[in-house]
Structure 1
Amino acid sequence: MDNKFGYDQYLVRQKIISVLGAKFHIYNPNQELVMFSQMKAFKLKEDIRLYSDESMSEELLTIKARNVIDFSATYDVHDPSTGEHVGSLRRKGLKSILKDEWIILNPGEAEIGRIKEDRRLLAFLRRFLSNLIPQTYNVEMNGSTVSTFTQNFNPFVTKINVDFSSDPARILDRRLGLAASVLLCAIDGKQSGA
């Protein structure tokens, strides 16, 4: 399949220990690398770029924070090949202290969905007792779950299984969904002190 955004399932891996910054590898269901990103360490304003491979010669997607420090940060997602503003992802600031929640915005800034961490009790236990409990996020659009992001516990590598199979009509733009999964890896890594 030529279209790197055409799969129903992906695996996003982030190596926790990296002096130069976070590295993200995105694999298709056949365990083939379809995207790569290296997020520079010590940047005040997130600017994540997804490339077709580790050579970083072909840029597929950009994810940029609007502000330097913002607890309710908004990240704009662009497709550099077309110049298209795909949409935005906005973290629900105070609400995310106890349970992560993100708002999915279309290019016109209208809310089209939400990404919600699973049950409140598990979210509470993760934050205050143990980060060993894997996270699950549900992507909700038009009153139904169209995607899930499920974290696998590993102390050295953060892995998120991305499943779009409950969205055969492709209500959620896969580019926006994959941008969200990378952001969840990056933000979770900072919260857990990685």
Structure 2
Amino acid sequence: MQQYTFNKYFAKKSFLKIFGGEIRIFDENKTNLLFFVKQKAFKLKEDITVYADETKSKELLKIKARSMIDFSAIYDVVDVSSNEPMGALRRKGFKSILKDSWEILDTKDQVIGSIDEDSMLKAILRRFLTNLIPQTFFITINKNQVGVLKQTFNPFVPQFNIDFSSDSANALDRRMGIAIVILLQIIEGRQQ
């Protein structure tokens, strides 16, 4: 569980992986690899395994889409070691066309929080003019900001600095926080 004790992380998605992407999440100093994802290409239904490292010998989390290709898909997050459901993440389909927006659900599918892109104007500029404007996502639980994901300025390699150090950050289970980072890089990263 040491992976979940940090307040700040750095996430990097591999550039130009033809047969599936790789995501690595490090501590904030970018020295210790804490999480590794090897995404399979050409999948109709997302089934993501989060590992402790590149050997893929220790599974930590599973993120599974409830249905095949769905505009407002729901992704269940499960802790592999305990087989405990953590909750789910639901993409707000039509709302996300212009500005990325997600809901954080508890284990009973009740909305407890949201993940929102920084501004409508910047979101529209990113989608229709340039991908040179880095994205920022705000994570809120019960109307309190618990985390911020800031994309670094690198138009070729999707990278995020992640900060869960706000006073309200304890309201978000870090396992859900890591699942949020991974889904944003995989699902929203397809737009770029």
* Aligned residue in 2 for 1:154: 154
Matches within 5 A, 1:99-178: 99-167=99-167, 170-178=170-178
Aligned partner of 1:79: which letter? Answer: D
User: How many Å separate the matches in 2 of 1:167 and 1:59?
Assistant: 30
* Aligned residue in 1 for 2:19: 20
Give how far 1:141 is off.
1.5
Aligned partner of 1:25: which letter? Answer: R
TM-score (ref. length: structure 1): 0.95
Give how far 1:43 is off.
0.7
Q: Percent identity?
A: 50
User: How many Å separate the matches in 1 of 2:168 and 2:15?
Assistant: 33
* Aligned residue in 1 for 2:98: 98
* Aligned residue in 2 for 1:85: 85
User: How many Å separate the matches in 2 of 1:126 and 1:92?
Assistant: 18
Larger displacement relative to structure 2 (150-159 or 56-65): 150-159
* Aligned residue in 2 for 1:179: 179
* Aligned residue in 2 for 1:52: 52
Gap change, CA 1:122 and 1:5, over 3 Å in 2: same
User: How many Å separate the matches in 2 of 1:95 and 1:66?
Assistant: 20
What are the superposed Cα offsets for residues 22-79 of structure 1, whole Å, 9 maximum, x if unpaired?
1000101232101111000111111111101000000001111111110001000000
Aligned partner of 1:5: which letter? Answer: Y
Please tell me whether the aligned partners of residues 152 and 159 of structure 1 are also in contact (alpha carbons under 8 angstroms).
Answer: yes
Task: Tell me the SS of whatever aligns to 1:96.
Answer: helix
* Aligned residue in 1 for 2:4: 5
What are the superposed Cα offsets for residues 131-176 of structure 1, whole Å, 9 maximum, x if unpaired?
1110000011122211001111213311011100004551001111
Unaligned regions of 5+ residues in structure 1, if any? none
Give every structure 1 segment of 4 or more consecutive aligned residues whose post-TM-superposition deviation is greater than 2 Å: none
Please tell me whether the aligned partners of residues 100 and 116 of structure 1 are also in contact (alpha carbons under 8 angstroms).
Answer: yes
Unaligned regions of 5+ residues in structure 2, if any? none
Give how far 1:16 is off.
2.6
User: How many Å separate the matches in 2 of 1:95 and 1:76?
Assistant: 20
User: How many Å separate the matches in 2 of 1:30 and 1:161?
Assistant: 10
User: How many Å separate the matches in 2 of 1:62 and 1:153?
Assistant: 29
Please tell me whether the aligned partners of residues 99 and 117 of structure 2 are also in contact (alpha carbons under 8 angstroms).
Answer: yes
Gap change, CA 1:156 and 1:82, over 3 Å in 2: same
User: How many Å separate the matches in 1 of 2:60 and 2:107?
Assistant: 18
Aligned residue-pair number: 191
